[in-house]
């Protein structure tokens, strides 16, 4: 694996309170990495430091091997950043704004026009070149924000909650765009929506209370949160003993007289066996649903594990 980002013992303190503590991670130079965390977990702080927009209290950031603190200009050349509040100028047109951003990136004059055309094409905003940014919808403003992040063809693009505040159609479009720009570079994006991270990322870093509480592939994460209980609604429910007799069932909780939560040992054929038993024994099963662990529950489990380890 070639590394584009390396964070070493990164910690940051605002005034007196630590916002992040001892964050270590390495990120490969292609694919999408999701930084998942609830509000206030420390995602923006980590991303702002990673992009050189905030100076860390402790630790080091290396971008493509370059130390951000020692050589900020060289390190920032490799990064495109869309902060949580996109730095858009409402009274500029899309063209004027992108030109201004390319200038800020110190791009050579002759390369600016072709780079603008390519970024606009990629982000689907070419037809709005002359439009004032204030007259664009939220989804299109976000695309302009992404265009400024890729205009200088960085190896790494960092997007802080890029779908926040968008309507469902805009969310789908921006997600497709994120996938597209990750084809030839690394993308890190933050979100507090688990399903979004599951949909887009090959790797997930979960942050809670300023600490990384999970860091692995998406497959490993999905195995971790694999459901281990099902909810059954039966008109003629059996006794606890009868349910425990079904192979794989480890525990039974009666929620109401007809609703039961059945825990099982990870065996994914449990639903089939419960349905067969219900038909054979006349339990009159009306409904069966998988009980996925809620995101809050996962955060809690993972946070507890880390605090036990540390
Ligand atoms: N400028 C600041 N001054 C003081 N405290 C801050 C500042 N910015 C963030 N914090 C605090 O640091 C912690 C981490 O905040 P951060 O914005 O990094 O979290 P986040 O995961 O990005 O949350 P959100 O999704 O709400 O943006 C929070 O407790 C927050 O209140």
Give per-residue pLDDT as tens, 66-113: 999 999 999 999 999 999 888 899 999 999 999 999 999 999 999 999
pLDDT band (50, 70, 90) for residue 295: low
Phi-psi region of 209 (alpha: psi -120 to 50; beta: other; left: phi over 0): left
pLDDT for res 294: 58
pLDDT band (50, 70, 90) for residue 236: very high
pLDDT for res 111: 94
Average pLDDT, the chain: 90
Give per-residue pLDDT as tens, 100-149: 999 999 999 999 999 999 999 999 999 999 999 999 998 999 999 999 99
pLDDT band (50, 70, 90) for residue 228: confident
Q: Whose CA is nearest to atom 1 of ligand 1?
A: 14
Give mean pLDDT, residues 215-221: 88
What span, in angstroms and rounded, lies between the C-alpha atoms of 283 and 242?
Answer: 11
What span, in angstroms and rounded, lies between the C-alpha atoms of 267 and 290?
Answer: 13
pLDDT for res 291: 67
What residues pair up with 34 in beta bridges, in sequence order? Answer: 189, 204
CA quadruple 175, 176, 180, 181: dihedral sign: negative
User: Does pLDDT of 297 surpass 80?
Assistant: no
Q: Is 11 in the pocket of ligand 1 (CB under 6 A)?
A: no
Q: Which of 265, 188, 264, 267 is nearest to 232 (CA)?
A: 264
Write out the two tokens for 102: 């390319």
More reliable by pLDDT, 184 or 204: 204
Q: Which of 218, 184, 164 is nearest to 34 (CA)?
A: 218
| Ligand 1 mean position, distance from CA 235 (Å) | 49
- List, in order of start, the domains of the chain with CATH numbers: 3-224 (3.40.50.300), 229-292 (3.30.70.100)
Q: Which of 234, 235, 243, 297 is nearest to 270 (CA)?
A: 243
Q: Is 42 in the pocket of ligand 1 (CB under 6 A)?
A: yes
Best residue among 11, 14, 55 to mutate for probing ligand 1's pocket (most ligand atoms within 8 Å of CB) is 14
pLDDT for res 308: 39
Q: Which atom of ligand 1 is nearest to the CA of 84?
A: 27
pLDDT for res 271: 87
Q: Is 43 in the pocket of ligand 1 (CB under 6 A)?
A: yes
pTM recorded for the entire structure: 0.80
Give per-residue pLDDT as tens, 262-287: 988 767 788 899 999 999 999 999 99
| Ligand 1 mean position, distance from CA 17 (Å) | 10
Q: Whose CA is nearest to atom 24 of ligand 1?
A: 39
pLDDT for res 193: 84
Q: Which of 49, 70, 64, 52 is nearest to 6 (CA)?
A: 64
| Ligand 1 mean position, distance from CA 14 (Å) | 9
More reliable by pLDDT, 237 or 302: 237
């Amino acid at each position: 694996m070639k590394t584009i980002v390396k964070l070493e013992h990164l910690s940051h303190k605002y005034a007196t309170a630590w916002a992040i503590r001892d964050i270590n991670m390495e990120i490969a130079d292609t694919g999408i990495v999701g930084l998942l965390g609830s509000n206030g977990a420390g995602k923006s702080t980590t991303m702002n430091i990673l992009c050189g927009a905030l100076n860390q209290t402790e630790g080091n950031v290396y971008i493509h091997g370059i130390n951000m603190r020692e050589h900020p200009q060289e390190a920032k050349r490799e990064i495109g950043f869309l902060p949580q509040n996109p730095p858009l100028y409402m009274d500029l047109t899309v063209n004027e704004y992108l030109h201004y951003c390319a200038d800020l990136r110190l791009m050579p004059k002759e390369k600016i026009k072709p780079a603008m055309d390519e970024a606009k094409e990629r982000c689907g905003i070419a037809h709005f070149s002359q439009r004032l940014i204030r007259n664009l919808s939220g989804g299109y403003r976000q695309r302009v924000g992404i265009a400024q992040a890729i205009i200088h063809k960085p190896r790494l693009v960092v997007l802080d909650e890029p779908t926040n505040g968008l309507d469902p159609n805009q969310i789908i479009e921006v997600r497709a765009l994120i996938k597209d720009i990750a084809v030839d570079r690394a993308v890190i994006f933050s979100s507090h929506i688990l399903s979004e991270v599951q949909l887009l990322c090959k790797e997930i870093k979960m942050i809670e209370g300023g600490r990384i509480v999970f860091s692995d592939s998406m497959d490993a994460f999905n195995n971790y949160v694999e459901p281990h209980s099902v909810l059954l609604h039966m008109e003629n429910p059996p006794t606890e003993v009868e349910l425990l007799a079904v192979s794989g069932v480890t525990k039974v909780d009666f929620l109401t007289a007809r609703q039961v939560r059945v825990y099982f040992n990870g065996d994914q054929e449990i639903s089939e066996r419960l349905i067969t038993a219900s038909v054979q024994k006349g339990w009159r099963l009306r409904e069966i649903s998988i009980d996925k662990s809620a995101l809050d529950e996962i955060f809690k489990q993972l946070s507890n594990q880390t605090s036990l380890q540390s």
